[in-house]
Amino acid sequence: MISIDSLVFGYGATPVFDGLALRLERGKAYGLLGLNGAGKTSLLKLMAGALLPRSGSIEAFGRSPSRREAAALADTAFVPEDPWLPSVTPEAYIARYAAFRPAFDDALFERLRREFGIDEGKTISRLSYGQRKKFALAAALTSGARTVLLDEPTNGLDIPSKMQFRKILAEAISDEKVIVVSTHQVRDLESLIDPILIVDKGRLVFELDAETLGSKLASARSATLDGLEVVHAERDALGWNALVARRGRAEDAAPADIELLFNAALAEPGRLAAAIGDTELAPYAPEGRKS
């Protein structure tokens, strides 16, 4: 597991995290959501040991990433949004990379390379952005690392590659690993990320698992908000797209839309907390104001 206690980190005088606490359990693929600048990438880098906290502690499977010990680095795979890779062939890179990864799975990497359609015969630095991304993801998911940190993994992937990545990520989830996926493209991965972590202004504002979302919240499309216990609503071409409390709604009501959930967490945190806590909601004003 990964344990974060009283984490303080910032750039210069600007704080990013001030006392952040978090527990990430094995066997889960966490979705890390937040606005631009909320600290998602910084948090991944802190867990990878690429950044150092000012104070507080991070432990990943009993080791401190900030100490950058060989065993900890071998047990951590971090794929940035735009991975830099050297001007060598894929075969040469994997030969060097695998030497520092005792649990690297060569056969699985070769299978993912074929499934992703990664070009052979080119140096990695000459591959397209999408090809470089797929190569880095394949290397991370076959590294044998128990801490897997992915920053915007679907950026740069075409639609077939996104589908393939979902399949590969689902296979990678295991009782031995903690996977953290930072993404803005939540609809690409909403069937896989669970729980969802929402960070805002340097703190964790919500941690929601699939069971809570399924039992407490639903989505509704309607020409009017009348008769709906609305948490948050947004206009669209058909009227309203609303996140609503599930109380009293049919069991087959549409699952909670994750993008609406994220917007509700930032715009209406009190209403979202009330819906999760089974507290009756005050009438909802379309502008987002409580009446």
Q: What is the pLDDT of residues 80-95, one digit of tens each?
A: 999 988 888 888 888 8
Same domain as 272, residue 128: no
| Structural domain contains residue 105 | yes
- CATH number, domain containing residue 10: 3.40.50.300
pLDDT on residue 133: 93
Q: Tally the domains of the chain.
A: 2
Residue 170: phi and psi, rounded to 5, are -60, -40
Residue 226: helix, strand or coil by DSSP?
A: coil
Residues 54 and 189 both lie in one domain: yes
Are 155 and 6 within 8 A, CB to CB?
Answer: no
pLDDT value at position 289? 42
For the chain, the average pLDDT equals: 90
Last residue of a domain, one of 208, 237, 267: 208
Give the predicted TM-score (pTM) of the model.
0.90
Q: What is the pLDDT of residues 164-220, one digit of tens each?
A: 999 999 999 999 999 999 998 888 888 889 999 999 988 899 999 999 998 999 998
CA distances from 112 to 81, 137, 199, 243 (A): 19, 9, 32, 37
- Domain boundary, last residue among 208, 225, 245: 208
Residue whose tokens read 């703190």: 203
**Whether 51 and 192 share a structural domain:** yes
Do 113 and 226 share a domain, yes or no? Answer: no
Cβ-defined contacts of 207-216 (< 8 Å, 24+): 208/261, 208/276, 212/276, 213/255, 213/256, 213/261, 214/255, 214/256, 215/246, 216/245, 216/246, 216/275, 216/276, 216/278
The answer as to whether 147 is a domain residue is yes
Q: Which of 218, 252, 220, 253 is nearest to 236 (CA)?
A: 220
CA dihedral 136, 139, 144, 150 (to 10 degrees): 20
Say if 54 falls within a structural domain: yes
Q: Does residue 177 fall inside a structural domain?
A: yes
Q: Which two tokens stand for residue 19?
A: 């006392």
Task: For residue 283, tell me if it sits in a domain.
Answer: no
Please indicate, yes or no, whether residues 18 and 75 belong to a single structural domain of this protein. yes
DSSP 8-state class, residue 131:
H
Query: 281 in a domain, yes or no?
Result: no
- C-alpha closest to that of 238 among 214, 217, 220: 220
- Structural domain boundaries enclosing 140: 2-208
Q: What are the start-end ranges of the H helices in the chain?
A: 40-48, 70-74, 90-99, 106-116, 129-141, 159-172, 186-189, 210-216, 258-267, 269-276
Could you tell me the pLDDT band of residue 38, with boundaries at 50, 70 and 90? confident
